[in-house]
């Protein structure tokens, strides 16, 4: 596969087919339709195709109701697809019960038995399958050592912290030695600090265990830090799948651009004006020259674009008075009224108003910026990082550069 083909496959919105032979899980043409209370069909997920490599950590992310949990539950066998197949280890498991699929699931609710010790909670899935006692003890001890909870085996869930209960739930899944781990918002019940800690620990555990993991979250920071690849869903459709950095650098459409990144990308309605065989972004006092690679991308689209949206991330806007990484010229600067200043230690977040219609955008500038509320600040745009979106379709027409 050439570099260009690889890039195209990585940012495909509707499919993820590859020539990779070591595929552990295939979600093949998956569509799920529910009926609402009035008997009308509601499409929860539509025509999703994803190949998941062996040992990969794949994260489904998107807003509530986007179809990520429905997809995970279908892989688990808790939902039946309306159309399509689920294939695990080259076997079509679409009609099989969950226990026959070689999967283990970790839920948002840890579902620990309160009357059982940690040891008995972890060993329970093996006991109901009549594993020998010696093998049960060996697996529980190995998982407990891996998760650093060996000293907690004789405690009950009520005696554990939230993070410890999470490890026990993971341990109960690990002892089964499944082919695939499925995790549905497993950190959502933890406080913010513990969530960050457990994210790191989950990453380390995944590296040690090496099993294919499918993980569902609504938290894009969780998705970006945990996933080998991230699949972004919205309204039941796969918007984009790829490595976290590629989703950030080359979002396929406006939804992905606004969902991935914190603070989110700024969007501005502008005029795209052709001048001397190049394009400029213009609106009121803004007049920015697009770089050559963006011009090349736009060349094939410009005649078809009626309305466009200009996208730039807050960290790609700099205070002209202190920026050192980007040259300051008339072609990459504009002025804006400072409405809010938020010092964050390593950065300052500025909320500014560039146009008279009172629309506001964010800039993440150096802590050395002296901008104050009420000032007119000159902002420098890193023009190599900008995006142009078709306002009608939402497509990013500069994504391939």
Would you state the pLDDT for residue 155?
A: 95
Q: Is the peptide bond before 265 cis (omega within 30 degrees of 0)?
A: no
Q: Which residues contact 45 (CB under 8 A, 6 or more apart)?
A: 30, 31, 32, 67, 70, 71, 74, 233, 236, 237
Would you state the pLDDT for residue 19?
A: 58
Does the pLDDT of residue 74 top 50, yes or no? yes
pTM: 0.88
234-263: average pLDDT: 96
252-279: average pLDDT: 91
| Maximum mean pLDDT: which of 35-44, 59-68, 100-109 | 59-68
Weakest mean pLDDT among 171-175, 321-325, 361-365: 321-325
Q: What fold does the segment set 3-102+178-259 form as a domain?
A: Rossmann fold (3.40.50)
Average pLDDT, the chain: 89
Would you state the pLDDT for residue 183?
A: 93
Would you state the pLDDT for residue 377?
A: 96
Would you state the pLDDT for residue 353?
A: 95
Weakest mean pLDDT among 13-22, 144-153, 336-345: 13-22
Does the pLDDT of residue 12 top 60, yes or no? no
Residues in the chain: 401
Asked whether 112 and 165 are in contact (CB, 8 A), the reply is: yes
**Distance (Å, rounded) from C-alpha 83 to C-alpha 72?**
15
Would you state the pLDDT for residue 1?
A: 38
By CB neighbour count within 10 A (0-12 exposed, 13-18 middle, 19+ buried), where does 232 fall? buried
238-249: average pLDDT: 96
For residues 111 and 241, the model is more confident at 241
Does the pLDDT of residue 9 top 80, yes or no? no
Would you state the pLDDT for residue 57?
A: 96
**Distance (Å, rounded) from C-alpha 380 to C-alpha 183?**
42
| Tokens encoding 214 | 């499918």
pLDDT exceeding 90 applies to what percent of the chain? 67
Phi, psi of 182 (to 5 degrees): -120, 125
124-151: average pLDDT: 93
Residue whose token pair is 């549905």: 184
HEC secondary structure over the chain: CCHHHHHHHHCCCCCCCCCCCCEEEEEEEEEEEEECCCCCEEEEEEEEEEEEECCCEEEEECCCCCCHHHHHHHHHCCCCCCEEEEEECCEECCCCCHHHCCEEEECCCCCCCCCCCHHHHHHHHHHCCCCCHHHHHHHHHHHHHHHCCHHHCCCCHHHCCHHHHHHHHHHHHHCCCCCEEEEECCCCCCCHHHHHHHHHHHHHHHHHHCCEEEEEECCHHHHHHHCCEEEEEECCEEEEEECHHHHHHCCCEHHHHHHCCCCCCEEEEEEEEEECCEEEEEECCEEEECCHHHHHHHHCCHHHCCCEEEEECHHHEEECCCCCCCCCCCCCEEEEEEEEEEECCCCEEEEEECCCCCCCEEEEECCCCCCCCCCEEEEEECHHHCEEEECCCCEECCCCC
Query: CA–CA distance from 145 to each of 139, 154, 171, 174 (Å)?
Result: 10, 14, 10, 12
Weakest mean pLDDT among 26-30, 216-220, 305-309, 376-380: 305-309
Phi, psi of 199 (to 5 degrees): -60, -45
346-364: average pLDDT: 93
233-257: average pLDDT: 96
Residues of the chain with CATH 2.40.50.140: 266-390
Q: Which residues contact 76 (CB under 8 A, 6 or more apart)?
A: 98, 101, 103, 105, 182
pLDDT tens-digit readout, 175-194:
999 999 999 998 887 788 88
Residues of the chain with CATH 3.40.50.300: 3-102+178-259
Q: How many CA atoms lie within 13 A of 398 on its CB side?
A: 24
CATH number of 266-390: 2.40.50.140
What is the band of 24 on the pLDDT scale with cuts at 50, 70, 90? very high
120-129: average pLDDT: 93
348-359: average pLDDT: 91
150-155: average pLDDT: 94
Phi, psi of 136 (to 5 degrees): -60, -50
End-to-end CA distance of the chain, in Å? Answer: 18
Q: Which residues contact 293 (CB under 8 A, 6 or more apart)?
A: 384, 401
Over the range 294-323, which residues count as b (16 or more CB within 10 Å of their CB) and which as e?
bbebbeeeeeebeebbbbbbbebbbbbeeb
What is the band of 304 on the pLDDT scale with cuts at 50, 70, 90? low
What is the band of 332 on the pLDDT scale with cuts at 50, 70, 90? very high
Does the pLDDT of residue 124 top 70, yes or no? yes
């Amino acid at each position: 596969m050439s570099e260009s083909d690889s890039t195209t496959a990585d940012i495909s919105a509707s499919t993820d087919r590859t020539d990779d032979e070591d595929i552990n899980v295939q979600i093949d043409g998956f569509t799920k339709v529910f009926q609402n209370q009035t008997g009308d069909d509601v499409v929860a997920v539509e025509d999703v195709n994803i190949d998941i490599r062996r040992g990969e950590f794949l994260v489904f992310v998107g807003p509530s109701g986007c179809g990520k949990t429905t997809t995970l539950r279908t892989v688990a066998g808790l939902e039946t697809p309306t159309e399509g197949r689920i294939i695990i280890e080259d076997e079509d498991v679409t009609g099989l019960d969950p226990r026959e699929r070689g999967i283990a699931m970790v839920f948002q609710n840890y579902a620990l038995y309160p009357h059982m010790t940690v040891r008995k909670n972890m060993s329970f899935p093996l006991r109901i399958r009549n594993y020998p006692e010696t093998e049960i003890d060996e697996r529980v001890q190995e998982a407990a050592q891996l998760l650093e909870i060996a000293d907690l085996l004789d405690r009950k869930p009520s005696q554990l912290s939230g993070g410890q209960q999470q490890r026990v739930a993971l341990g109960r899944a690990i002892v089964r030695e499944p082919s695939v781990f499925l995790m549905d918002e497993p950190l959502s019940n933890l406080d913010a600090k513990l969530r960050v800690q457990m994210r790191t620990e989950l990453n380390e555990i995944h590296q040690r265990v090496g099993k294919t993991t499918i993980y569902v979250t609504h938290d894009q920071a969780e998705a970006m830090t945990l996933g080998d690849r991230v699949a972004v869903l919205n309204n039941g459709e796969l918007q984009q799948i790829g490595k976290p950095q590629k989703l950030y650098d080359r979002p396929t459409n406006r939804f992905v651009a606004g969902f991935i990144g914190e603070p989110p990308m700024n969007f501005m309605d502008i005029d795209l004006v052709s001048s001397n065989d190049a394009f400029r972004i213009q609106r009121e006092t803004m007049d920015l020259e697009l770089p050559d690679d963006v011009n090349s991308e736009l060349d094939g689209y410009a005649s078809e674009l009626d309305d466009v949206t200009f996208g730039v991330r807050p960290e790609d806007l700099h205070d002209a008075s202190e920026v050192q990484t980007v040259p300051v010229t008339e072609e990459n600067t504009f002025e804006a009224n400072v409405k809010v200043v938020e010092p964050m230690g390593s950065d300052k977040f500025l909320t500014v108003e560039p146009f008279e219609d009172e629309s506001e955008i964010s800039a993440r500038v150096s802590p050395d910026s002296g901008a104050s509320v009420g000032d007119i600040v000159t902002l420098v745009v890193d023009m190599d990082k900008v995006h142009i979106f078709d306002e009608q379709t939402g497509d990013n027409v500069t994504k391939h550069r």
